[in-house]
Amino acid sequence: MTATVDRTHGDAVPPPKNRTHWLYVAVVVAVGLGILVGLLFPDFAVRLKPLGEAFVALITMMIQPVIFCTIILGVGSVASAAKVGKVGLGAILYFLAMSTFALTIGLVVGNLLHPGDGLHIDDEVASAGAAQAEEGHGSTVDFLLGIVPDSLFSSLTSGDVLETLLVALLIGFALQQMGPAGKPILTVVEYAQKLVFRVLAMIMWAAPVGAFGAISAVVGETGADALKSLAILMFGFYLTCAVFVFGVLGTVLRVFAGVNIFSLFRYLAREFLLILATSSSESALPRLIAKMEHAGVDKTTVGIVVPTGYSFNLDGTAIYLTMATLFVAQALDDPLSIGEQISLLVFMIIASKGAAGVTGAGLATLAGGLQSHRPELVDGVGLIVGIDRFMSEARALTNFAGNSVATVLIGNWTDGLDRERFDKVLAGELPFDERTMIDEVPEREREPAPA
């Protein structure tokens, strides 16, 4: 990190030492120790599960305040509502296109591999599938009505990201219409955002403990032998996610923005590590917002694309639902026709909105969709309960990769990306300040994005 300048005396002042790199070294060590403990002491390891759950709960606690402040600042500070509409429309169209690609790739690979052939279920497996169906059942109407909160303030405490998104957009547009009279409120929200990121930076120091507990528990529960019979499904799913991320997303990012996807992922490496440790893409959502703003994407684009993408741009979840559905149908010797596959999966994608970052949500959505369309297949969901935790990691990583690429692309298409700053950040010339998790350079001091 470069030295700062004392504006009073003009002397160069070295910045405080950044010790956060040790935090992520500790996370890596904790993951390794967690795997070791899970294999050697499985009963003890399972009892460590609350450590991981507590850390994810702490992160989740901060999600709604982060989104609330970010969207209000992004929308309220824009002079014209047309800019917001342009970004929002571009985001929705892009999300639909990528979801279609993800579904198509999942269908092709699933039909080629036939991962469920030769498997059978017992009563214990069937009961596990029924339990997941109870959690996942819900209609599209319930989803739409659930976006509206009970009150203006309950949107910050409900735990539903879409409620927060709706209220923050309404407040942002209201402040936009107030003009100069709304600037004091925006200033308060800006300071509130800084406070929220400071608290989040403190919470992050618990990441090694959370990672140790989460990994220990899942290895202790499944064991090494539990994965053998389902290795084809896991291999196929991981391979499909990799093809989608580096083949589809990487090509789109290179062609339409001229950005190397490996450079972007290197900049977001710590976020990927955090997701791998917690199996939740929401654990990295606040950091993605902060890092995208630091990289030169304007507040409006970040404030709209990132939170919306976490509910509607579910590339990893789309691939998972596709392959898991085919797996269950094949395992029960009741394969789906192409028409049945498409109609069922479209329903599942709609039903899964708002649950992208919740561990296990994909499994519940799978069971709920089968319960609604093909109840005779629900029993087969129990076949993948044991490895869902591992597949959840790939889902979360793919969802996060898709949303990071979407933010850059849409910012580039809507003139919301300061390309000169973006290139410097990816090159390591303007490092992200890990101590505060928020860019301290005021928006007014940045060079405007090229027209």
Quick: pLDDT tens for 222-279. Answer: 665 544 545 677 788 888 899 999 999 999 999 999 999 999 999 999 899 888 877 7
Could you tell me the two tokens for 56?
Answer: 């994810």
For 131, 145, 152, 309, 437, the CA distances from 148, given in Å and listed in that order, are 28, 6, 9, 18, 30
At 129, list the tokens: 């599938």
Please report where in the chains the tokens 């996807």 appear, as a residue: 261
CATH at residue 375: 1.10.3860.10
| 298 inside domain | yes
pLDDT of 342 > 50? The answer is yes
What's the pLDDT tens digit per position in 184-236?
A: 998 898 888 888 878 877 887 887 888 788 778 767 776 655 445 456 777 88
Residue-number span of the structural domain to which 252 is assigned: 80-162+188-202+228-445
Q: Are the CB atoms for 238 and 60 separated by under 8 Å?
A: no
Mean pLDDT of 137-153: 69
pLDDT band at 446 (very low <50, low <70, confident <90, very high): very low
Q: Which two tokens stand for residue 405?
A: 């690429």
The answer to whether residue 26 sits within a structural domain is no
Query: Which pLDDT does position 237 carry in this prediction?
Result: 84
Number of domains into which the chain is organized? 1
| Across 66-75, 162-171, 181-190, least confident range | 66-75
- The Cα 66–Cα 156 span in angstroms is 10
- Structural domain includes residue 49: no
- In 3-state terms, what secondary structure has residue 5? strand
User: Could you give the angle at the alpha carbon of 105 between the alpha carbons of 99 and 110, nearest 5°?
Assistant: 125
Which residues fall within 8 angstroms of residue 441, CB to CB, at 6 or more apart? none
Query: Residue 296: left if φ>0, alpha if ψ -120 to 50, beta else—which one?
Result: left
Q: Is 211 within the bounds of a domain? A: no
Give the span between the Cα atoms of 204 and 103, in whole angstroms.
34
**Secondary structure of residue 297 in the 3-state scheme:** strand
Residue 66 inside a domain? The answer is no
Range with the lowest mean pLDDT among 105-109, 395-399, 408-412, 431-435?
431-435
Residue 417 three-state SS: strand
